[in-house]
Structures are given as C-alpha cells and as structure tokens.
Amino acid sequence: MKIAFFSTKSYDRESFNQFLPGSGHHISYFEVKLDKDTLSLAAGHEVVCSFVNDKIDAEILKELKKLEIKLIALRCAGYNQIDLNAAAEQEITVVRVPAYSPEAVAEHAFALILTLSRKTHKAYNRVRENNFSLDGLTGVNIHGKTIGVIGTGAIGRAFCRIAKGFGCQLIANDVYENEEMKTLGVTYHSLKKVLSRSDIVSLHCPLTPETHHMINAETISQMKDGVALINTSRGALVDTKAVIKALKTGKIGYLGIDVYEQEEHIFFKNLSEEIMQDEEISRLMTFPNVLITGHQAFLTKEALEQISKITLSNISDFEKGLKLKNEIKAT
C-alpha cells in the first residue's frame, strides 16, 4: 500500500526502512506534521501514518476521505489526537501501536527521578567547567520512599517493577486493579489517598476527558509538601499553571516531565535560534528543581523497531482483510 508518512524524523526513516523491503508497501516521508495546510500531500496514497502531535479532527478526516484515504496508522499508543467518531463517519479505519516498549518509557521516568533526586544534571555541568564543589548537590534516597503510580497499564507495570528493585513502597490508582502488581506488593487506593501518601507521584495513564488536568490545584493540595511529580504520559494530564504555583510555594519539590500540554508547538523542533513564545514552559525552565525532556521517553532502538514492525503489520493486515487486533474505535 502507498503510505503518506507525516512528522518524519531521521530516526523514523532509518527504523522503518529496515523493515520496509518485502512488505509490499511504499512510504512517502514528509517532515511536516499533518494539518489542513499539508493534508494535500496525502493525495495518491491509501494510508496516512501519523504521530502524537498530528491533530486529526473532523475537518481533516473529511478531506482525507475525499483523497480516498482508507486507513490511518498511528505509530504511537495514544490516540486522543484523533476524532474517532468522525473517522467512523468517514469510514476510515484507525489502528495504533498499543505497546511497543513499555520499559523504554518506564526507564526514562525513573531516569528523571534519579536525576532530580541526586542532581546529576547539575553535577555534570559543574564538572565540565572544572568545578568539583559538592555544595548544593545534596540529594535524597529513593530507597524506602513511597511512590504513587497513577495507571498500571503496560508502562505503569514496568515502572513498578523497576521501583520495586529500588526498595520503594508502591501504591497505585487505576480503574482496573492488576493481580500481577498485587503479587508484587502494589496496593490500590483512591486517587486522593495515593496522592496524600506519596513522596513521588508518577503518571502513567491515558489522556481522556476524565483524566484531563487530573493534576490541578485541588489534587495538588492533597499531596505531601515537597512531593516529586513525574509525567511521561500525556502533557494535558497536568494543569501547568497550577504546577507553577505549587513549585513557587514549595508544595511540589521536584518536577520531571517528558510531555507538555502545548508541546505540539515546541517539541521535536530545534528552536535554539528563536525566542520562546510559550511563557509557561519558559517559566518552568527557570526552576532549578525542574527537569524537562522533549518527549524522548519512547526513543530507544528497541522501541523504534517495535513501532516499525507493528505499524507495518497493522497495514498489511488491513490490506489482506484480516482482523485488526490494534484497531481503535469510538466508544
């Protein structure tokens, strides 16, 4: 099938080209993201392959239907960026990659925790300037801390297994309690109880209307003073304005994020020669106890290979008329 591949990065091209030979598919790589100004590039293709920041609303889906697009293959797990009801109306099938490497994201979340707790990012910069002073680098132990895990899907479970190895007490909140996690020693509680008891809160749940801004002024007030907040899931789970206020008062002691609510205007781009227009992320970057990475938690060799294999397999199954195990539909 002919695939229009949007939001292409060099690592996408390298990874997909490994598995493209023999697949029977042809990919046209486009660096631009999919929007109303670029969707015409999909003409002459049968499939659109998109990523997390390609906003696919009803208007775009209507136009893609006119271009005879039959399938949208999301090369990511999240699907809040696409209007599934509109896709159904236009009879466009949608598939995704539900689990490519849960360990990749879980390990990155823990990397944020370790970096913030031991200030290794600051030490690295000091040593490069021949400054070997330890003043201001006092950290905190992870061992013995209570970590609240919000969401125990594949990534949340991988995170729990890592945290268990550090000797942490694990408490969790999820709509569905996982028996494997209970065997591991994870106990499930209400969101309020998890937030109130945790030294570290790590978010691993999908973005839905119910979880949008689940971390807000009210829920932050339920947390311990000096709590560490980690988000490697979706940016809009967190009300950024409320978090900034909590950082200023010390309610939030550390913040580590790999996602941001307005990231589609910032992440995956080199803006080093530009003036940052987003005042909220600019404000976050002024805090010494905040660590921000640009949506790289998924970015490992192993994860990219899985994303490529599963995406191409999804497209092949669609072409052959097979049952689509990774299809997503409106509920």
Catalytic residue numbers read 234, 263, 295
Q: Which residue has the tokens 């978090």?
A: 243
Rounded distance between C-alpha atoms, residue 328 and residue 331, angstroms: 9
Rounded distance between C-alpha atoms, residue 259 and residue 203, angstroms: 11
- DSSP symbol at 213: T
Distances from the Cα of 201 to the Cα of 42, 89, 179, 216, angstroms: 41, 39, 21, 13
Give φ, ψ of 238 to 5 degrees: -115, 130
Angle at 80 (CA atoms; ends 197, 292), nearest 5 degrees:
55
Residue 28 bridge partners (DSSP): 4
Does the CA dihedral 174-175-181-186 come out positive or negative?
A: positive
What angle do the packed helices 301-320 and 10-19 form, to 10 degrees? Answer: 60
